[in-house]
Structure 1
Amino acid sequence: MSRWPILRFLLSQHLVFLTLFVAGGCLLAAVVTPVFLLFTPITLSAVDIGGQVLFWLAVGYGYGAAGMLATMVAHGRTRREFAVQYPVFQLVTAVVLAALITGAYAAEAVLYRLAGWTRHLQDQRVFAAGDYPSIFVAYLCMLVFCLITGAFVATAFYRWEAGGVLALLPAAAVLGCGGAATGFFSLSFARFAVAGPPAMAVVTVAAVVVGWTLLWVSVRDVAVRTGVSA
């Protein structure tokens, strides 16, 4: 029997799909951007605007963890295996997608420079347009805590059903603090400055530790429902 079966499956199937999906989004931004130039001067980075969507897409994808858990347990895997291997998959996915989107920023910079267009980022960003290490770290941190938060909320609802609504409270706190630290989601009452990638990493590690702990609490002995509700 192969080691890390859940991780191997997710990397060979889901990671490939997610990579192609994000790459397709970046390519679409590159194709659509010149069209907008026909109607209005371009002043903002198209990749930066599109990258904002990844925040909520990552949360939504993480929410699919409950279905994945039920499938894996039904096929003979243990809850402990899932609780260990699924977060590792999320981390690897965040690294790959963050590297991909960082490359898209770099490619866009060349395109804008050749076309003579102005490129600015959104005001809440905590990184500069050409600071690619900070861009990579910001996206990496954002994707990690969004994925793990979505997974925790999904498994909490799966385990406690209506009682899972209580999971929305810590989830909102994680998303609010993490989003503010990485510059992707900011509320007037949850804004605080960060001093570059190290600070973003510290906030993200704290958020992920909380998220993984809550994920384990909701997964460790959850009963897998095989019936389909009417």
Structure 2
Amino acid sequence: MTTRVAKRWPLLRVLLSAHLTFLALLWAMFTLLVLVVTSILVWTNADTDNIMHLLSVQAPRWLLFGLGLDAVSTYLRIHLSHGRTRREFTGQALAHAGILSGAAAFLITAGYAMEFGLRSLYAVFDWRSRAPELDPATLPQVFGTFWLSLLMWMVAGLVIGLGFFRSPAHGIFSIPVGIVIVLPSVISNRNAGMPFLGDWVVDLDLGPGEILAISAVILVASAGLLRRGVRGVPMRTSAE
């Protein structure tokens, strides 16, 4: 079964082999750092918020955005030089975005669970964490929110990466499209970190159902843009 998948989806296998390993290594180092910093802050009775929340919003989305860029800039030319079709690239790149963003969301959720579990250890030493209580029952919601958010950012990376792969002009015009793609994730995270638009977007009173519906429409439109954009990429006979 694995051999059949590898033959039918070779690009997906290569992308996951490269990016999942990179993601897991970064997560291990990141989580260790966060847990150490959190423990020191609690031990010294310093003011602290939920450290995992503060650090898991900004860094992972830019990481997934960058991996979306890398999937196009590094692997599209290799894919075409091996005689594979442009349509195959679109499907496998989108599948890769879904799997990798899900894996990243799972790792972030695991980090939240670890931070919650540390409270029992703090109690042994009579340490008091000032971070807000995290209900373990909300972990599935945390996972779903981050999965959707990171998926949007990675798809934006694919779209912008494809634009610049074709030409600088296409790349410049793809930037506003990428901003539109990630707007639902800014709303879902209630995060105003995006310049100019962030504060306005988070003030929109949209429920989870509305955010999901908007995200679904944007993802379908993005898939169409990717498919159309890849069709405009000239076939190359060798990897440069």
TM-score band by shorter chain is 0.7 to 0.9
Contact conserved, 2:162 with 2:226, CA < 8 A, in 1? Answer: yes
Moved more, 184-193 or 129-138: 184-193
State the one-letter code of the partner of 1:223.
P
> Aligned pair 1:164/2:176, yes or no?
no
Q: Secondary structure of 2:205's match? A: coil
State the one-letter code of the partner of 2:160.
V
Change (3 A) 1:75 1:166: same
Change (3 A) 1:148 1:111: same
> Aligned pair 1:50/2:55, yes or no?
yes
Match of 1:173 among 180, 188, 197: 180
Change (3 A) 1:12 1:138: same
- TM-score (norm. length: structure 1): 0.84
Structure 1: runs of 5+ lacking an equivalent: 122-127
After superposition, residues 136-175 of structure 1 pair within 5 angstroms as 136-175=143-182
Q: Alignment identity in percent?
A: 26
Q: Name the counterpart of 1:119.
A: 131
State the one-letter code of the partner of 1:211.
S
> Aligned pair 1:36/2:36, yes or no?
no
CA distance in 1: counterparts of 2:231 and 2:21, whole angstroms: 28
CA distance in 2: counterparts of 1:185 and 1:156, whole angstroms: 26
CA distance in 2: counterparts of 1:17 and 1:176, whole angstroms: 26
Match of 1:6 among 11, 34, 43: 11
CA distance in 1: counterparts of 2:228 and 2:23, whole angstroms: 27
Contact conserved, 1:61 with 1:147, CA < 8 A, in 2? Answer: yes
Change (3 A) 1:200 1:118: farther
Query: 1:30 offset after TM fit, Å?
Result: 0.9
Cα RMSD after superposing both structures: 2.5
- Greater percentage in helix: 2
CA distance in 2: counterparts of 1:23 and 1:208, whole angstroms: 30
Query: 1:200 offset after TM fit, Å?
Result: 4.0
Instruction: Compare CA radii of gyration and give the structure with the larger one.
Output: 2
Moved more, 185-194 or 13-22: 185-194
Q: Secondary structure of 2:200's match? A: coil
